[in-house]
Protein backbone atom coordinates (compact mmCIF):
# COMPACT_ATOMS: atom_id res chain seq x y z
CA UNK A 1 0.00 0.00 0.00
CA UNK A 2 1.22 3.47 -0.92
CA UNK A 3 1.01 6.05 1.89
CA UNK A 4 2.30 9.58 1.31
CA UNK A 5 2.21 12.35 3.92
CA UNK A 6 2.02 16.00 2.96
CA UNK A 7 2.20 18.61 5.72
CA UNK A 8 -0.20 21.44 4.88
CA UNK A 9 -1.64 24.71 6.10
CA UNK A 10 -0.67 27.16 8.85
CA UNK A 11 -1.26 24.53 11.54
CA UNK A 12 1.01 21.96 9.86
CA UNK A 13 -1.67 19.29 9.53
CA UNK A 14 -0.86 15.89 8.10
CA UNK A 15 -2.64 15.19 4.83
CA UNK A 16 -2.37 11.57 3.70
CA UNK A 17 -2.60 10.23 0.16
CA UNK A 18 -3.32 6.51 -0.01
CA UNK A 19 -3.46 4.05 -2.90
CA UNK A 20 -3.00 0.33 -3.28
CA UNK A 21 -0.19 0.97 -5.74
CA UNK A 22 1.46 3.72 -7.76
CA UNK A 23 -0.55 4.68 -10.80
CA UNK A 24 -3.91 3.54 -9.40
CA UNK A 25 -6.95 4.98 -7.70
CA UNK A 26 -6.39 6.86 -4.48
CA UNK A 27 -7.87 8.54 -1.42
CA UNK A 28 -6.91 11.82 0.22
CA UNK A 29 -7.38 12.13 3.99
CA UNK A 30 -7.60 15.61 5.56
CA UNK A 31 -6.64 18.10 2.81
CA UNK A 32 -6.16 21.05 5.16
CA UNK A 33 -4.76 23.51 2.61
CA UNK A 34 -1.87 23.90 0.18
CA UNK A 35 -3.84 22.11 -2.52
CA UNK A 36 -1.12 22.68 -5.12
CA UNK A 37 1.34 20.74 -2.96
CA UNK A 38 -1.17 17.93 -2.52
CA UNK A 39 -1.79 17.83 -6.26
CA UNK A 40 1.92 17.66 -6.99
CA UNK A 41 2.18 14.62 -4.73
CA UNK A 42 -0.83 13.02 -6.41
CA UNK A 43 0.58 13.63 -9.88
CA UNK A 44 4.03 12.32 -8.97
CA UNK A 45 2.45 8.94 -8.23
CA UNK A 46 0.06 9.16 -11.21
CA UNK A 47 -3.02 8.67 -9.02
CA UNK A 48 -6.71 9.11 -9.78
CA UNK A 49 -8.31 10.40 -6.58
CA UNK A 50 -11.76 8.89 -5.97
CA UNK A 51 -12.48 9.92 -2.36
CA UNK A 52 -11.61 12.79 -0.04
CA UNK A 53 -12.20 11.86 3.60
CA UNK A 54 -12.05 14.25 6.54
CA UNK A 55 -11.42 12.78 9.97
CA UNK A 56 -13.30 15.81 11.34
CA UNK A 57 -14.52 19.19 10.15
CA UNK A 58 -12.01 21.68 11.54
CA UNK A 59 -10.57 24.14 9.04
CA UNK A 60 -7.03 22.76 9.27
CA UNK A 61 -8.32 19.43 7.95
CA UNK A 62 -10.90 20.58 5.38
CA UNK A 63 -9.61 23.92 4.00
CA UNK A 64 -8.66 22.31 0.68
CA UNK A 65 -11.71 20.11 0.22
CA UNK A 66 -13.70 22.33 -2.17
CA UNK A 67 -10.77 23.09 -4.46
CA UNK A 68 -9.53 19.51 -4.47
CA UNK A 69 -13.03 18.25 -5.34
CA UNK A 70 -13.19 20.57 -8.33
CA UNK A 71 -9.75 19.58 -9.56
CA UNK A 72 -10.08 15.83 -9.12
CA UNK A 73 -13.82 15.10 -9.27
CA UNK A 74 -13.47 13.11 -6.05
CA UNK A 75 -16.34 12.55 -3.62
CA UNK A 76 -16.14 14.10 -0.15
CA UNK A 77 -16.92 11.86 2.86
CA UNK A 78 -17.45 12.94 6.49
CA UNK A 79 -19.15 11.61 9.63
CA UNK A 80 -22.70 12.91 9.88
CA UNK A 81 -22.25 14.37 13.39
CA UNK A 82 -19.77 16.93 12.06
CA UNK A 83 -22.16 18.15 9.35
CA UNK A 84 -23.11 21.33 11.31
CA UNK A 85 -19.44 22.35 11.37
CA UNK A 86 -19.44 22.79 7.60
CA UNK A 87 -21.98 25.61 7.78
CA UNK A 88 -20.65 27.41 10.86
CA UNK A 89 -17.27 29.22 10.85
CA UNK A 90 -17.22 29.24 14.65
CA UNK A 91 -17.56 25.46 14.77
CA UNK A 92 -15.10 24.73 11.97
CA UNK A 93 -12.70 27.30 13.52
CA UNK A 94 -12.18 29.27 10.32
CA UNK A 95 -13.39 32.35 12.21
CA UNK A 96 -10.21 32.15 14.30
CA UNK A 97 -8.17 32.69 11.13
CA UNK A 98 -10.21 35.78 10.24
CA UNK A 99 -11.30 34.01 7.05
CA UNK A 100 -14.77 32.68 7.95
CA UNK A 101 -15.55 29.78 5.62
CA UNK A 102 -18.44 27.46 4.92
CA UNK A 103 -18.38 24.21 2.96
CA UNK A 104 -20.75 22.18 0.82
CA UNK A 105 -22.31 19.03 2.19
CA UNK A 106 -20.37 15.83 1.46
CA UNK A 107 -21.50 13.39 -1.18
CA UNK A 108 -21.77 10.78 1.56
CA UNK A 109 -21.97 10.76 5.35
CA UNK A 110 -20.01 8.07 7.17
CA UNK A 111 -20.89 6.14 10.31
CA UNK A 112 -19.38 3.62 12.71
CA UNK A 113 -18.38 0.30 11.14
CA UNK A 114 -18.80 1.46 7.57
CA UNK A 115 -16.24 0.26 5.04
CA UNK A 116 -14.92 2.29 2.14
CA UNK A 117 -13.49 0.12 -0.62
CA UNK A 118 -11.19 1.19 -3.40
CA UNK A 119 -9.31 -1.43 -5.41
CA UNK A 120 -7.49 -3.63 -2.93
CA UNK A 121 -7.86 -1.02 -0.18
CA UNK A 122 -10.59 -1.30 2.43
CA UNK A 123 -10.94 1.41 5.07
CA UNK A 124 -13.00 0.69 8.17
CA UNK A 125 -14.55 3.71 9.85
CA UNK A 126 -14.47 3.85 13.63
CA UNK A 127 -16.29 6.68 15.38
CA UNK A 128 -13.88 8.29 17.86
CA UNK A 129 -15.66 11.36 19.29
CA UNK A 130 -14.12 13.73 21.79
CA UNK A 131 -12.15 16.24 19.72
CA UNK A 132 -15.37 16.84 17.78
CA UNK A 133 -18.67 14.93 17.96
CA UNK A 134 -18.09 13.38 14.54
CA UNK A 135 -14.38 12.63 14.71
CA UNK A 136 -13.47 9.35 13.05
CA UNK A 137 -10.39 7.17 12.72
CA UNK A 138 -9.73 4.98 9.69
CA UNK A 139 -8.31 1.47 9.90
CA UNK A 140 -6.43 0.17 6.85
CA UNK A 141 -4.55 -3.11 7.21
CA UNK A 142 -2.10 -2.64 10.13
CA UNK A 143 -2.53 1.14 10.14
CA UNK A 144 -4.93 3.60 11.77
CA UNK A 145 -5.34 7.22 10.75
CA UNK A 146 -6.49 9.02 13.88
CA UNK A 147 -6.94 12.65 12.85
CA UNK A 148 -6.83 14.79 16.00
CA UNK A 149 -7.98 12.04 18.34
CA UNK A 150 -4.54 10.64 19.18
CA UNK A 151 -1.04 12.00 18.61
CA UNK A 152 2.41 10.71 19.48
CA UNK A 153 2.52 11.54 23.17
CA UNK A 154 -0.63 13.63 23.07
CA UNK A 155 -4.33 13.89 22.33
CA UNK A 156 -6.55 16.36 20.51
CA UNK A 157 -7.78 19.53 22.14
CA UNK A 158 -11.16 19.42 23.85
CA UNK A 159 -11.64 23.13 24.54
CA UNK A 160 -13.15 23.85 21.12
CA UNK A 161 -16.93 23.69 20.54
CA UNK A 162 -18.14 20.08 20.78
CA UNK A 163 -15.01 18.85 22.54
CA UNK A 164 -15.34 16.41 25.45
CA UNK A 165 -12.37 15.09 27.40
CA UNK A 166 -13.99 11.94 28.85
CA UNK A 167 -15.41 11.01 25.45
CA UNK A 168 -11.97 11.42 23.88
CA UNK A 169 -10.34 9.21 26.50
CA UNK A 170 -13.03 6.58 26.00
CA UNK A 171 -12.57 6.66 22.22
CA UNK A 172 -8.84 6.09 22.55
CA UNK A 173 -9.04 3.38 25.19
CA UNK A 174 -11.93 1.42 23.69
CA UNK A 175 -11.47 1.95 19.96
CA UNK A 176 -7.80 2.61 19.25
CA UNK A 177 -6.05 0.83 22.14
CA UNK A 178 -8.08 -2.29 21.35
CA UNK A 179 -6.20 -2.61 18.05
CA UNK A 180 -3.11 -4.86 17.82
CA UNK A 181 -0.13 -3.34 19.63
CA UNK A 182 1.99 -3.11 16.47
CA UNK A 183 -0.65 -1.07 14.62
CA UNK A 184 0.95 2.02 13.11
CA UNK A 185 -0.73 5.28 14.12
CA UNK A 186 -0.82 8.09 11.56
CA UNK A 187 -2.04 11.21 13.42
CA UNK A 188 -3.42 14.51 12.17
CA UNK A 189 -0.34 16.39 13.38
CA UNK A 190 3.19 15.37 14.22
CA UNK A 191 5.11 12.13 13.75
CA UNK A 192 3.82 8.57 13.38
CA UNK A 193 3.69 6.26 16.39
CA UNK A 194 2.26 2.86 17.33
CA UNK A 195 -0.56 1.68 19.55
CA UNK A 196 1.97 -0.03 21.81
CA UNK A 197 4.00 3.15 22.35
CA UNK A 198 0.93 5.21 23.18
CA UNK A 199 -0.50 2.62 25.58
CA UNK A 200 2.80 2.63 27.45
CA UNK A 201 3.78 6.29 27.28
CA UNK A 202 0.89 8.62 26.49
CA UNK A 203 0.31 10.65 29.68
CA UNK A 204 -3.22 11.74 28.76
CA UNK A 205 -4.84 8.32 28.52
pLDDT tens track for 115-124 = 999 988 999 9
* Rounded Cα gap, residues 203 and 47, in angstroms: 39
Domain holding 64: CATH number?
3.60.15.10
Question: Residue 42 belongs to what H/E stretch?
Answer: helix 35-44
CA distances from 53 to 26, 79, 109, 198, 205 (A): 11, 9, 10, 24, 26
pLDDT, tens only, 48-105: 999 999 999 999 999 999 999 999 999 999 999 999 999 999 999 999 988 899 999 9
* Rounded Cα gap, residues 161 and 89, in angstroms: 11
Q: How many structural domains are present in the chain?
A: 1
* Rounded Cα gap, residues 66 and 68, in angstroms: 6
pLDDT, tens only, 92-101: 999 998 889 9
Phi, psi of 26 (to 5 degrees): -135, 175
Q: Which of 58, 67, 59 is nearest to 38 (CA)?
A: 67
Residues 6+ apart with CB under 8 A from 5: 14, 15, 16, 17, 186
Question: Within its chain, how far is the Cα of 131 from the centroid?
Answer: 12
Query: What range defines the domain where residue 54 resides?
Result: 2-201
CA distances from 173 to 103, 152, 168 (A): 32, 15, 9
Amino acid sequence: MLVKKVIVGPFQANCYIIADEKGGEGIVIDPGGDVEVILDSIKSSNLNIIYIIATHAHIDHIAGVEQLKKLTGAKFLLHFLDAPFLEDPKLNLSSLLQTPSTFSSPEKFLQEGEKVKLGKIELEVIHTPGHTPGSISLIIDECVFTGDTLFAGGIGRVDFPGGHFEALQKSIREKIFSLPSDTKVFPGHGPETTVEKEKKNNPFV
